[in-house]
Amino acid sequence: MKPKCVVALALPDDIIERLATRYEVAAWNGSDAMSQQRLSDALAGAEGLLCALSTPVSATIIDQATELKVISTISVGVDHIAMPAATRCGIPVGHTPGVLVDSTADLAVALMLASTRRIAEADQWVRESQWTQGWQSDLLLGTDISQATVGLVGLGPIGEAVARRLRGFGCKLVGWNRTPRVIEDVEPMTLDQVFEQADVVSLHTALTEETRHIASRERLALMRTGATLINTGRGLLVDEHALIDELGSGRLRAGLDVFREEPLPPHHPFLAMRNVVLLPHVGSATLSTRSAMLQRALENLNAGMSDLPLAWCANPEVYHREPYI
C-alpha cells in the first residue's frame, strides 16, 4: 500500500502523475485556496504535505495529523506554518531558499522604477484616452533613481542582490539589518534613520514577531513627502492601515507585491489609488525560478516521506529529537 501525501495547491498534471507513482495522492485542484477544514480532512492518514504560502498550516491541523512525517512548502518563508507545533511534533518543514534571490531582486528594482516614474499610472492614463495633447512639460513628473537615496531594510541575500543592481544607477544606498552586516556601498544606519533619510525604502527582511509592522505608522510618518515604499517581502511587514492613510493623503507612493490579505479583497482602498503599483505576489514568478522551487520542494517531500533528512529544512532542530535520533 502506497503512503499518502496531500498536495494542497493546484499543480500541473505531470507533477501529480509523477507523485502518484510513489504515493497515494490527495490533490487539490481548485482555483481558490484549500480551506482549513478540507486540509484537515485530507491529512487524515497522510504522511506528507506539499503546500505553498496560500495554505495556512495551523497548530491545530498539525496536532490532528498524527501520521504526518513532513511538510514541504514551495516558498522560502514559512510564516504560514505553525513552526513551533511542527517542531514539537518532530515534523521537519522543508522550504526553498537560495533560488528566488535574483528574481525577487529584479522585481524590487522594477517596482522602484515603476513607482518613481509613475509607469502604471501613465499606462492607465493612455488607455483611458487622456493623452490628447503632445509633449507637456509638467506631465506625470516622477523621481530619478540615479539621484535618490535608497534605503534597504534587510541586508540578507535579496537585499544584497538589490544593492548590487542599484549600484549601476549611481544612487546613494543606506541600509539596516537585524544583525550587523557590511555590504559594499551600503551605509549602515538605524532603522528610523533609513525611513527618515531615504527617498525609496525597500523591505527585504523576514517576517518575525520582531519585524511585524516594521514599517509602522510612526516610521511611515518619518518618510519624506514624495518618498516611496517598496514591499516584496511579506504583507505584514507593513502597517497597512497606516500606509493607506499616507497614500490617501498623497504624501507617499508605494510599489507592493505582497499584502496583509491575499488576494486583495474587492473594494480594498489600494485598488482606487493611483499612487500605488500593485502586483499579485509575483516576486519569484519566472519559469526558471518557479521550476527550481518546485524541484526543491519535491526533493524535500520525498526525503521526509522516506525518513531521510531534508536538504533544505527550516527547523533542523527536529533531527536532534524523536523520531530522528
**CB-neighbour burial class of residue 206 (10 A; exposed 0-12, middle 13-18, buried 19+):** middle
Q: Are 93 and 78 in contact (CB under 8 A)?
A: yes
Strands (E), 28-144: 48-51, 70-73, 93-94
State the pLDDT at residue 321. 59
Q: Is residue 56 part of a domain?
A: yes
Average pLDDT over residues 233-248: 98
Is the pLDDT confidence value at 225 over 90? Answer: yes
Cα 265 to chain centroid, rounded: 18
DSSP E strands, the chain: 4-7, 24-27, 48-51, 70-73, 93-94, 149-153, 172-176, 186-188, 200-203, 228-231, 253-256, 276-278
pTM for the model stands at: 0.92
The cell numbers describing 109, all together, are 528594482
Do 148 and 251 share a domain, yes or no?
Answer: yes
Convert the pLDDT of each residue in 166-190 to its tens digit.
999 999 999 999 999 999 999 999 9
Total domains, the chain = 2
Is residue 33 very low, low, confident or very high in pLDDT (cuts 50, 70, 90)? confident
Please indicate, yes or no, whether residues 184 and 47 belong to a single structural domain of this protein: no
76/120 same-domain check: no
Based on the fold, state whether residues 141 and 190 are members of the same structural domain. Answer: yes
* 206 closest CA partner among 153, 161, 256, 160: 153
Is there a single domain that holds both residue 109 and residue 258? yes
Task: Indicate whether 8 and 94 sit together in one domain.
Answer: yes
- 72 with 163, same domain: the answer is no
Would 325 be classed as within a structural domain? no
Looking at residue 188, which CATH number applies to its domain? Answer: 3.40.50.720
249 within a domain of the structure (yes/no): yes
Catalytic positions = 234, 262, 281
Same domain, 119 and 195: yes
Q: Which domain holds residue 15?
A: 4-98+287-320
Quick check: 312 pLDDT over 50? yes
What digits encode the pLDDT tens for the residues 196-221?
999 999 999 999 999 999 999 999 99
